[in-house]
Amino acid sequence: MAATARGREEALPALAEVFREHGYEGASLFLISQATGLGKGSLYHFFPGGKAEMAAAVVAEIDAWFERHVFAALRDTRRPREDIAAMLEAVDQYFGTGRRVCLVGLFALGDARDAFTREVHAYFARWVGALADALVRSGNGRAAATALAEETVGAIQGAIVLTRALDDPGIFGRALQRLRSRLGLERR
Amino acid sequence: MAATARGREEALPALAEVFREHGYEGASLFLISQATGLGKGSLYHFFPGGKAEMAAAVVAEIDAWFERHVFAALRDTRRPREDIAAMLEAVDQYFGTGRRVCLVGLFALGDARDAFTREVHAYFARWVGALADALVRSGNGRAAATALAEETVGAIQGAIVLTRALDDPGIFGRALQRLRSRLGLERR
DNA sequence: GTCTATAGATCGATAGAC
DNA sequence: GTCTATCGATCTATAGAC
């Protein structure tokens, strides 16, 4: 897949892809070495903590990416409605219309649950929290906003499961469309 | 956990629990042996195909259980509304209010995806299909029923992810309550 | 049928040459 | 920094005694 990565940072995308495709246990150092183009020596040079550190680095980068491109936009106070719409668009792109697994969701289901409980919790708590805040700012009551935020993030995670199970990206698209309608983002 | 299982059938529940807890790759024969109380010799006597056959047997049993206790009820033509409500109740019980992972959903996300593509597809297709049919019978148009069925099954899967990620069963309960409302099952 | 012992492969991780 | 060689542990699976 990847030409030889030149450093720790460059290796992260390929690394993330391996964990997404095979899960934590299934991502062997052989697969990781192939995907990154780095030998074991180089991998342990960049990640002295081994596989656990590699997975932690991937989760941290995913977390940072979502913070920057998804959660942050929700914290703009002026146009919450547009920000929420932009969040859904970013999600659609990132998850490849449901074909690409959410690694944090996969870890939440147990693949590496004990090792990353805190990171998994923080990721979803910030996602739901930022969305709920934006929904309050766009006119919803606190309780309704929290319920809508939980429903939205849950629907996205569930749509990924269903899309992959039935091999039909239309499922993810329709789920996002329903969410747009329910969140009051319909074209006006 | 389990007293010594006496045969193939008796071993299945403990076997299922191990796969749910650790995923396919993470479920080692050592863990399986401990959970079932069966030595490796006995395990290979009951499952000559090894771990793959054990997982297949578990998926088949889960599939049969859902067919009997969840999908079948949806095919009763006389009182679709009550049947759908009963389905949600069975789901709440089975998934332990979101604390218990859906093994088929976990496999769909990749843990053993290539090996069980057909079974995973069949399970979710029958679930969505049976629910959509019941919704048509309860007065919805075909397109609306399909959308509602996809939304419902997706919401359940997503609620399991969120419940485990945030360690809060209230999330699963609220998700079911929203579904009851949306499916028109509110107390009359 | 169930056990112990172990084969054979692969795992994550390390060492040392370059 | 990157490679090859290899360690010890663990994995799935099998063999053979009982």
Question: What's residue B18's pLDDT?
Answer: 96
Separation in Å, CA B72 to CA A166, B63, B130, B149:
21, 12, 8, 15
Question: What's residue B72's pLDDT?
Answer: 87
- Cβ of A41 less than 7 A from strand C: yes
pTM, two decimals, is 0.95
Whole-number Å distance between alpha carbons of A131 and B60: 39
Which chain A residues touch B if contact means CB-CB below 8 Å?
A: 20-23, 25-26, 101, 104-106, 108-111, 113, 120-121, 123-125, 128, 147, 150-151, 153-162, 164-167, 171, 174-175, 178
Q: What is the pLDDT of residues A32-68, one digit of tens each?
A: 999 999 999 999 999 999 999 999 999 999 999 999 9
Task: Answer yes or no: do B165 and A120 touch at CB < 8 A.
Answer: yes
Helices (H) and strands (E) in chain A, counts: 10, 0
The answer to whether residue A109 scores a pLDDT higher than 70 is yes
What is the overall mean pLDDT for chain A? 93
The answer to whether residue A84 scores a pLDDT higher than 90 is yes
Question: What's residue B75's pLDDT?
Answer: 85
Structure tokens at B72: 């079948």
Return the closest-CA partner of residue A126 out of A183, A71, A59. Answer: A71
Helix B8-26 to helix A8-26 angle, to the nearest 10 degrees?
180
Structure tokens at A61: 């980068």
Whole-number Å distance between alpha carbons of B37 and A74: 51
Question: What's residue B85's pLDDT?
Answer: 95
Question: What's residue A78's pLDDT?
Answer: 85
In b/e form, how buried is each residue of A113-152, taking b as 16+ CB within 10 angstroms? beebeebbbbbbebbbebbbbbbbbbebeeeebbbbbbbb
Question: What's residue B4's pLDDT?
Answer: 66
Question: What's residue B57's pLDDT?
Answer: 96
Which amino acid does the sequence have at A64?
A
Question: What's residue B116's pLDDT?
Answer: 95
The answer to whether residue A127 scores a pLDDT higher than 60 is yes
Task: Answer yes or no: do B178 and A124 touch at CB < 8 A.
Answer: no
Inter-residue contact B145 to A145 (CB < 8 Å) = no
pLDDT < 50 positions in chain B: 1
Helices (H) and strands (E) in chain B, counts: 10, 0
Return the closest-CA partner of residue B93 out of B111, B66, B60. Answer: B66
Whole-number Å distance between alpha carbons of A42 and A54: 12
Q: What is the pLDDT of residues A16-29, one digit of tens each?
A: 999 999 999 999 99
- Of residues 60 to 89 in chain A, which lie within 7 A of strand C by their beta carbon? none
Instruction: Calculate the CA A180 to chain-centre distance.
Output: 19
Inter-residue contact B20 to B106 (CB < 8 Å) = yes
Structure tokens at B28: 């080692």
Shortest Cα distance, chain A CAs vs residue B171, angstroms: 7
Q: Tell me which DSSP letter residue A96 carries.
A: G
The answer to whether residue A13 scores a pLDDT higher than 60 is yes
Question: What's residue B187's pLDDT?
Answer: 62
Whole-number Å distance between alpha carbons of B70 and A86: 38
CB-nearest partner of B155 from A124, A154, A160: A154
The answer to whether residue A88 scores a pLDDT higher than 70 is yes
Separation in Å, CA A20 to CA B14, B51, B87, B107:
27, 22, 32, 13
Task: Answer yes or no: do B105 and A25 touch at CB < 8 A.
Answer: no
SS3 state at A28: coil
Nearest-nucleotide field for B44 (CA, C1'): D13
Question: What's residue A173's pLDDT?
Answer: 98
- Cβ of A45 less than 7 A from strand C: no
Whole-number Å distance between alpha carbons of A44 and A41: 5
A-chain residue closest to B179, CA distance: A151
Instruction: Calculate the CA B21 to chain-centre distance.
Output: 14
Residue bearing tokens 């998700």: B175
Whole-number Å distance between alpha carbons of B90 and B101: 15
Residue bearing tokens 């069925």: B149
Question: What's residue A177's pLDDT?
Answer: 98
